[in-house]
């Protein structure tokens, strides 16, 4: 069983329009709603890969009930979300069918009270000892302490459970100091953490700050991994156009699934890159194009990075 934590869950709403233009009205050709937030996207990809997964975090209000209702339809997924008084947020993705580009609008999350935060911590501490790995994903809703992820990492490590962290800002800075097993930033998050826009130097610095392994998402250039076993680059065979929402979450799912399957790092990166590209081709976040994944996984190029040995 894999545990994903989404403290700021969402209802992801995807609109498709023939062409997105500012300052005018649009006729929407399709609307799709899915449970969202980074950890829920990760969980759906993991479940599609055949892994049993438990999701926890916060949910509230009418939007939260929709999220939980939709989660019941996902085979292999267990709902351990903790209720809050405030409403779960919505995120809006507008896909321009002419260009394939996506515009994203993200609402803030509900304000979490100290009692609600304590209830979540109790749930998390009960779940951790029975899982094979933990993913801590996404932003912190208002009211949650900025050092929340650092505390959750320490709880997982005390139980001997490997933990992956995927967040940003001060939550990332505090979290990396708690020594997560895998840190999964994108290029901007990595630069903000380390002050360096040179990925090789930045991944090395992030490891010095506490992360055991760092896997940085570099957009169309794929992934750069710095681990105790070595450094690798993994690149997709072609540039993929589509909806990028959830591509980074697919990377997390690829890393986690291959971690619990005890695959070597090159195979982990191959799966992560192929899943990310296959997710861009899917219409909504948290899903991936199975045919594209099967085709891409054999074409991902993984090279040893000897330049920063």
Residue 308's pLDDT band, with cuts at 50, 70 and 90, is very low
Whether 91 and 107 have beta carbons less than 8 Å apart is answered as: yes
Whether 8 and 37 have beta carbons less than 8 Å apart is answered as: yes
Between 100 and 257, where is the model more confident?
Answer: 257
Residue 286's pLDDT band, with cuts at 50, 70 and 90, is low
pLDDT at residue 293 in the model: 75
Q: For residues 136 and 276, what is the distance between their CA atoms, to the nearest angstrom? A: 18
Average the pLDDT over 175-192 and give the result: 96
3-state helix, strand and coil shares in percent for the chain, rounded to the nearest 5: 40, 25, 35
Q: For residues 83 and 196, what is the distance between their CA atoms, to the nearest angstrom? A: 40
pLDDT at residue 50 in the model: 93
Q: CB-based burial of residue 136 (10 Å sphere; 0-12 exposed, 13-18 middle, 19+ buried)?
A: buried
Whether 57 and 5 have beta carbons less than 8 Å apart is answered as: yes
pLDDT at residue 245 in the model: 63
Residue among 249, 267, 291, 294 flagged as catalytic: 249
E strand or H helix at 293, and its extent? helix 290-296
Between 292 and 136, where is the model more confident?
Answer: 136
Q: Is pLDDT of 155 > 80?
A: yes
Average the pLDDT over 26-55 and give the result: 93
Q: Is pLDDT of 168 > 80?
A: yes
E strand or H helix at 205, and its extent? helix 199-208
Average the pLDDT over 126-143 and give the result: 97
Q: Is 12 a catalytic residue?
A: no
Q: For residues 110 and 8, what is the distance between their CA atoms, to the nearest angstrom? A: 8
* Digit-coded pLDDT (tens) for 269-285: 999 998 988 877 666 65
| Backbone dihedral angles phi then psi of residue 131, each to the nearest 5 degrees | -115, 160
Number of helices and strands in the chain (H, E) = 10, 15
Q: For residues 70 and 202, what is the distance between their CA atoms, to the nearest angstrom? A: 39
Our CA angle for 112, 36, 46, nearest 5°, is: 115
* Digit-coded pLDDT (tens) for 74-97: 999 999 999 999 999 999 989 898
* Digit-coded pLDDT (tens) for 234-275: 988 876 665 566 788 999 999 999 999 999 999 999 999 989
Beta bridge partners of 301: 235
Tokens of 303: 């090279």
Q: Is pLDDT of 296 > 90?
A: no
At 170 the three-state DSSP class reads helix
Whether 300 and 274 have beta carbons less than 8 Å apart is answered as: yes
| Backbone dihedral angles phi then psi of residue 202, each to the nearest 5 degrees | -65, -40
What DSSP letter does each residue of 230-248 carry, written as one string? EEEEEE-SS---S--TTHH
Residue 309's pLDDT band, with cuts at 50, 70 and 90, is very low
Q: For residues 173 and 98, what is the distance between their CA atoms, to the nearest angstrom? A: 39
């Amino acid at each position: 069983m894999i545990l994903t934590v989404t403290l700021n869950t969402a209802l992801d709403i995807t609109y498709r329009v023939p062409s997105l233009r500012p300052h005018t009205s649009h006729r929407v050709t399709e609307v799709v709603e899915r449970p969202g937030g980074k950890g829920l996207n990760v969980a759906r990809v993991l479940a599609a890969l055949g892994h049993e997964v438990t999701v926890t975090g916060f949910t509230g209000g009418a939007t939260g009930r929709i999220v939980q209702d939709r989660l019941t339809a996902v085979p292999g997924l267990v709902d351990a979300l903790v209720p809050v008084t405030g409403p779960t947020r919505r995120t809006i993705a507008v896909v321009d069918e002419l260009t394939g580009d996506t515009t994203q609008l993200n609402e803030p999350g509900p304000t979490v009270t100290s009692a609600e935060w304590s209830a979540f911590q109790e749930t998390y501490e009960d779940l951790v000892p029975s899982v094979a790995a933990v993913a801590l994903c996404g932003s912190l809703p208002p009211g949650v302490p900025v050092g929340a992820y650092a505390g959750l990492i320490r709880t997982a490590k005390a139980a001997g459970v490997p933990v992956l962290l995927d967040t940003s800002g001060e939550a990332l800075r505090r979290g990396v100091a708690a020594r997560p097993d895998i840190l999964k930033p994108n290029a901007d998050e990595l630069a903000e953490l380390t002050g360096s826009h040179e990925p090789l130097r930045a991944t090395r610095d992030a490891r010095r700050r506490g992360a055991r392994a760092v896997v940085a998402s570099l957009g169309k250039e794929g992934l750069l991994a710095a681990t105790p076993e070595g450094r690798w680059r993994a690149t997709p065979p072609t540039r993929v156009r589509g909806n990028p929402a959830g591509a980074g979450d697919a990377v997390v799912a690829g890393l986690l699934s291959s971690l619990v399957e005890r695959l070597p790092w090159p195979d982990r990166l191959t799966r992560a890159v192929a899943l990310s590209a296959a997710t861009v081709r899917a219409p909504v976040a948290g899903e991936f194009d199975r045919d594209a994944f099967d085709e891409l996984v054999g074409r991902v190029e993984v090279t040893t990075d000897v330049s920063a040995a």
